[in-house]
Amino acid sequence: MPVVRPSEAVVHEMHGARFVSYATPLTGSRELCAWRGEVPAGTRAPAHTVSKEEILHILDGGLRVTLDGETTDVTAGDTLIVNAGATLTVENPGTRPAITWVTTLVGLEAELADGTRIAPPWAR
């Protein structure tokens, strides 16, 4: 039975945020990836277009997100649905970290505005 203990989660850092990876094919998942995202106060990630659907549930704190040009604030308890092909910018204008739980399909990639493609290891 695949069970990932907190001490077994793999930590990645990118664009000032922390990604704590729990579910990937390396840990026993076949189709989905899941991780805890930690976005420090004052952090703004670059705009990126996702290749697969991504679901972000806000566990604590809040984020300002721009999805395909529309900006809104999300706070603890809110869930953001990002469809494949959407362009997303995430920032934390608050004074404390924002904590999210994110799920997506294995193989998610992101493309930055300059054309750089990223295959995040927490989604492989």
Here the CATH number for the domain that contains residue 74 is 2.60.120.10
Domain containing 92 equals 10-123
In a domain, 3, yes or no: no
In a domain, 2, yes or no: no
d(CA 11, CA 79): 23
In a domain, 54, yes or no: yes
In a domain, 89, yes or no: yes
pLDDT, tens digit (0-9, with 9 covering 90-100), for 48-87: 999 999 999 999 999 999 999 999 999 999 999 999 999 9
Predicted confidence at residue 50, as pLDDT, reads 98
pLDDT band for 1, please (50, 70, 90 cuts): confident
In a domain, 81, yes or no: yes
Q: How many domains does the chain have?
A: 1
